[in-house]
Amino acid sequence: MSNITKAPTPAAGGRAGAKKELSEHFKAYKHIWVFVEQERGQVHPVSFELLGAGRKLADKLKVDLAAVVIGPEGEATRNAALESFCYGADLTYLVTDNVLSEYRNESYTKALTDLVNTYKPEILLLGATTLGRDLAGSVATTLLTGLTADCTELDVDADGSLAATRPTFGGSLLCTIYTLNYRPQMATVRPRVMPMPERVARDAARIIIHPLHLVEEDIVTKVLSFVPDRDSAKSNLAYADVVVAGGLGLGSPESFQLVRQLAAVLGAEYGCSRPLVQKGWVTSDRQIGQTGKTIRPKLYIAAGISGAIQHRVGVEGADLIVAINTDKNAPIFDFAHIGIVNDAMHLLPALTAAFRARLSPHSRDRLAS
């Protein structure tokens, strides 16, 4: 990552100089695990991104990379186990039971902590999704080990310790965190922070099946229903190739439709900065930034967004950032690739019209160039 700057310095409490003194029973902990998350039969892409990141760490440590698949019996769970090999896993731990058909903290925590206590990994990575964060917090507290949330960079030191770097204070600062003397070393990573590795068709290698030992009557929490998000809210914002977003510079909730219109012409997803969610103009699933979604599109157009650090950390992975803002001193121009000092209210409709003309199948503009 490009964020590395100054030399190491002592942090609060003077514990930065702490040494690794791993107790005897933790020395048995080996290999890297990635929790493969499924939602209603679909593997969350963040799991494959983590297998990619985990593969690099495993190669550096010369250990195995294992996928952990937990879910109901059936084809979807089996496919998740098989797919993991295509994204770099050396083996898969599998817990299947029909009480796992919907995610519940109690049952999934038991499945994962039982696996850890039995097979003892040194590093355990999960996606920082709602499910992954809920599960990781419970597992870490049960195992009394350290957990670093929402990491943006993972590495291993010369002594084999996991160095997990994460933004803190809303992205104003970065810190590198270690769990030196407890195992496993746990970390979560948000979707789209790590690049998606290429899928390589591979036969399944080792699959280790582990029983759950839990019946429905043991689980107190019941799922009454699942209400899927309305289609309009079912955005694929994090994984879109083109994203258009608006901020406070739009001035009024009505102007936000200018963002939607340009997005529609570009076949793009639309998003917004945090203030628009706080004002209730746009729903929170459209928020881009530190407390919203991280995006990695080929093209990102930010209209009327000032570009506070909290927004920046969510969009830095975009290949091309185009910023439109009336204030030429807006911080967004510090990291945008193309900056236009202009009023988004005028420019957005003009761009929409221009792209509509250019992208029409009969565009003379395009054929001429």
Partner 1 sequence: MHSVVCIKQVPDPAQIRVHPVTDTIVRKGVPTKINPYDLFALGAALELRDKFGGEITVLTMGPPSAEDSLRKALTFGADRAVLLTDSFFAGVDTLATTYVLATAIRKIGETFCRPDIIITGNESIDRETAEVGPGIAKRLGLLKLTYVAKIVGLDLISRTIEAECRAEGGVQVLRTKLPCLISMLEANNQTRRGVVTDVLPAGRAPIVKWSAQEAVVEDISKCGAPGSPTIVKRVFAPSPGSEKAGLVEAAEQPTKVLMKPILNSQPRLETDLVAQARGF
Q: Give the integer Cα–Cα distance in Å for 195 and 215.
A: 38
Which x/- pattern, by CB under 8 A, does the window 49-88 give for partner 1?
Answer: ----------------------------------------
In the beta sheet, which residues pair with residue 92?
67, 207
Instruction: State yes or no: residue 320 binds partner 1 (CB under 8 A).
Output: yes
**Which sign, positive or negative, has the C-alpha torsion 295, 300, 303, 307?**
positive
Q: For residue 180, with 0-12 CB atoms within 10 Å meaning exposed, 13-18 middle and 19 or more buried, which class applies?
A: middle
Using CB under 8 A, which residues numbered 155 to 194 contact partner 1? 163, 167-182
3-state secondary structure of 86: helix
Q: Give the integer Cα–Cα distance in Å for 202 and 283.
A: 41
Neighbours of 168 (CB within 10 A): 13
**Beta carbon of residue 61, minimum distance to partner 1 (angstroms, whole number):** 19
Instruction: State yes or no: residue 2 binds partner 1 (CB under 8 A).
Output: yes
Applying CB under 8 A, among 59, 251, 359, 364 the residue interacting with partner 1 is 359
Instruction: State yes or no: residue 214 binds partner 1 (CB under 8 A).
Output: no
**Beta carbon of residue 249, minimum distance to partner 1 (angstroms, whole number):** 14
Instruction: State yes or no: residue 338 binds partner 1 (CB under 8 A).
Output: yes
**Beta carbon of residue 38, minimum distance to partner 1 (angstroms, whole number):** 10
Phi, psi of 218 (to 5 degrees): -75, -20
Neighbours of 197 (CB within 10 A): 18
Q: For residue 295, with 0-12 CB atoms within 10 Å meaning exposed, 13-18 middle and 19 or more buried, which class applies?
A: buried
Residue 274 tokens read as 């945090």
Region near partner 1 per CB under 8 A, out of 50-58, 67-75, 81-89, 338-346: 338-346
Peptide bond into 253 cis (omega under 30): no
Return the number of the residue (236 or 252) whose C-beta is nearest partner 1: 236
**Beta carbon of residue 259, minimum distance to partner 1 (angstroms, whole number):** 15
Applying CB under 8 A, among 114, 134, 153, 155 the residue interacting with partner 1 is 134
Q: How far is CA 126 from CA 65, 68, 100, 273, 321, in A?
A: 13, 10, 18, 26, 29
Applying CB under 8 A, among 64, 90, 155, 241 the residue interacting with partner 1 is 241
Alpha helices in 8-165 (DSSP H): 45-61, 75-86, 105-119, 130-143
What single DSSP character describes residue 42?
E
Return the number of the residue (55 or 304) whose C-beta is nearest partner 1: 304
Instruction: State yes or no: residue 105 binds partner 1 (CB under 8 A).
Output: yes
Binding-residue total with partner 1 (CB under 8 A): 108
Instruction: State yes or no: residue 327 binds partner 1 (CB under 8 A).
Output: no
Return the number of the residue (105 or 207) whose C-beta is nearest partner 1: 105
Return the number of the residue (38 or 92) whose C-beta is nearest partner 1: 38
Applying CB under 8 A, among 41, 56, 72, 129 the residue interacting with partner 1 is 129
**Beta carbon of residue 345, minimum distance to partner 1 (angstroms, whole number):** 13
Residue 310 tokens read as 């909290």
Which x/- pattern, by CB under 8 A, does the window 257-296 give for partner 1?
Answer: ---------xx----------------x-----xx-----
Q: For residue 273, with 0-12 CB atoms within 10 Å meaning exposed, 13-18 middle and 19 or more buried, which class applies?
A: buried
Instruction: State yes or no: residue 206 binds partner 1 (CB under 8 A).
Output: no
